[in-house]
Every structure is written in C-alpha cells, then in structure tokens.
Amino acid sequence: MAGRKYGLDLGTNYVKIYDNIRKNILVEKNMIAVRKKKEIVAAGDAAYEIYEKVSDNIVIKHPVRDGVIADVDPMGKLFDYLLKKLNCSNSMMRHNEFYLAVPSSITEVEKRAFFSLVNYSTYKTHNASIVEKPVAAALGEGLDVKRAGGIMVVDMGADTTEISIIALGGIVLSRLIKTGGNTINEAICNEVKLAHNMIIGYKTAEYLKLTLGSAVPTMAEPVTVYGRDLITGLPVHVPIPASLVFQCILTVLDPVLGAMRSLLERTPPELNNDIFDHGIYVTGGTSQIPNLERLIASRTRMKVNMSSHPQESVVKGLDVIMNSYELSDLAFSVRESAFY
C-alpha cells in the first residue's frame, strides 16, 4: 500500500509541512505551551496567540533554535500535533516517507536529531531522508542545481542566515550566520529601551519591524506603541520613528552583507562568472524586509533576485525532489548518511 510523502521545513518561527497527496502546505508557528512540564496547553498558532500573556505555571517553548532542534521532546509533541491536523494515521506510517530540510553547516549530532524526530515520534517510521536546505531552496526557486555553473543562494531565516554556493547538485561553499529576523526584533527592543526608557514585548517589536522596517532610509510616519516605563513601571505609549527601526535592521544585516562579500571572494573564478551573470538569489522569511534588494545590490554590486514566495521556497524544493527520480540522489537516508 502506497503512503504519503511529506516535506518538512522546521524553521525557528514556523514549521512548514508539504503533503504531496493533497498538494498543500501546512504552516504553523513553531511554538508549544506546556503546563507542569508535560501537559500541552496549546501548540502552533494557538501557542503564539497566548505568547507573552500566560501565567508563570505555563511555559512557552521554542523547540528550534539557530536552525537546529534544541529541545527534542517539545518538537516531537508539536510534530505529532501537526501530523494529526494533516490526518496522518498510525496504521499508514510505515508506508509514509519524510523529507527533512536541514542547514548544511551543522554538526553530525544536530543532523541526527532530525532523523530521531521522525523515528521516535508517535508516528514511527524509518523512511526518513534529509536534504540540504540551500539545495531545496534553489529547487523551490526553479533553479537547475545540477548544472555545472555556480548558484548563490541566501536563505534569511528567523535565527540564522545561510549563504551558499551550489554547483553540480552540491554545496561548494557555505556560511551559516546566527542572525536573522528575531535578532532584528531583539535589537528593536534594546534600542527602544535605551532611547525611550520603555520596555516592549517581542510582538510589539515584530509589529514595528513589519510596519516601519526598511533596508534603506524612509520618510514613514512614526508609529505609537505601548510598553512599560523602565523607571516607574507604569504603562506608557511612545511614538517610534522609522529611523530607529532602520538603524536596527542595518546593524543586524551588516555581518550578513560582509559574509556575502567574503564568500564571493573565496568562490572559484569560473563559478564567480556564472553568479555574476545570473545574480544572487535571496529567499527566507526575513528577505521580505522592504528594499532589501537595493541594500544587497549596493554592497555586492551584483544583480539580486528576490523570491516571490520566500517562506515556501524550501518546502516547494522538497516537493520537486519527492516527485523526481533524477533528483532523488539529493536526499540522503539514514543508511546513506556518513554521520550515522
């Protein structure tokens, strides 16, 4: 009996699961609320709704940090919860296959955790394979990763940014930088605290980033937000200018731009020619910052191709691999993996 194939992109902020039978993508917040260490109060988007609003006896956990599974047990519970939403049954699990996207620049132990998530969950199966995330992202953008020419992909996530040079189906050079959208939120929180003596929450910082965020200076009107006065402890509201958010974004993105230039300097000349001709491909949730392509182009002096579906590039690439015999060698099973 044939089972389903699932493509999993376990991001820091979101879990994306592609079901190749229904041809749909389930997207939920990568968050779980737990009471007394084991009782699940809420998971996914429901957990995000109560984030920063719960009492001390409920703990909000983020199972993925810096692109890897940091807390296996909560991730397993969230994984089971999401598969139930997809109507995945225990009786069919031995026939199902899972393709998991993982960063290329992580350790063998960190890669093993992705296999363990599937093998030891409620839905036990050993039909699990991993795919390097930059390769999946490139395929999701419709690129031919098996050609001899070089492809530069920048995947900008919540906690990490992975910059990769791809040729002949493999990673030639790669750099994983621990900075992303969440780093920008933290920078906004800190800057508001320093500039206005006001403490704001993560959701408020996210709102400021989405409302005023830009990779180049803008003349947007200030946005008033509420927080807690650092001195009196009382609720206050303060107008936040766009310039504050811009400076936070620029400060966080500077190391990313420097790493892109550094990687290009180390790239073999023949591959550099191809990258120069076709440009840099940018994807990932953080790449949705307005005017980001202008900032990257000004620093690298190269053409920049922004994804039209940045949060779905990886799972769309997994779908391409799942349905192509010619690309099946881009996925590695437990037996084929050198780190097992």
pLDDT, tens digit (0-9, with 9 covering 90-100), for 213-225: 999 999 999 999 9
pLDDT of residue 80: 87
Q: Are strands 151-156 and 280-283 parallel, antiparallel or unpaired?
A: parallel
Residue 307 is predicted with a pLDDT of 95
Q: How far apart are CA 225 and CA 237, in angstroms?
A: 5
208 Cβ neighbours under 8 A, 6+ residues apart:
188, 223, 225, 240, 245
Residue with tokens 């391409």: 320
Binding residues for ATP: 206-209
Q: What is the pLDDT of residue 93?
A: 55
pLDDT of 250: 97
What pLDDT does 292 receive?
Answer: 97
Task: Count CA within 13 A, CB hemisphere, residue 273.
Answer: 4
Measure the CA–CA gap between 59 and 310, rounded to whole angstroms: 30
Maximum alpha-carbon separation in the chain: 66
Q: Which domains does the chain have, with CATH numbers?
A: 5-135+314-333 (3.30.420.40), 142-306 (3.30.420.40)
Q: What is the predicted pLDDT for the residue at 173?
A: 94
- Residue 86 CB contacts under 8 Å (≥ 6 apart), including other chains: 6, 17, 19, 22, 26
The pLDDT value recorded for residue 340 is 41
Report mean pLDDT in 10-residue bins for the chain, 340 residues.
80 92 90 86 93 87 90 88 79 73 86 82 75 95 90 95 94 93 97 96 96 94 96 95 97 96 92 92 96 96 95 95 90 61
How many whole angstroms separate alpha carbon 261 and alpha carbon 220? 30
Of 42, 112, 130, the closest CA to residue 78 belongs to 42
Distance CA 27, CA 82 (A): 9
**H or E stretch covering 241:** none
Binding site members = 206-209
User: Is residue 305 within 8 Å of 145, Cβ to Cβ?
Assistant: no
Tell whether pTM > 0.85.
Answer: yes
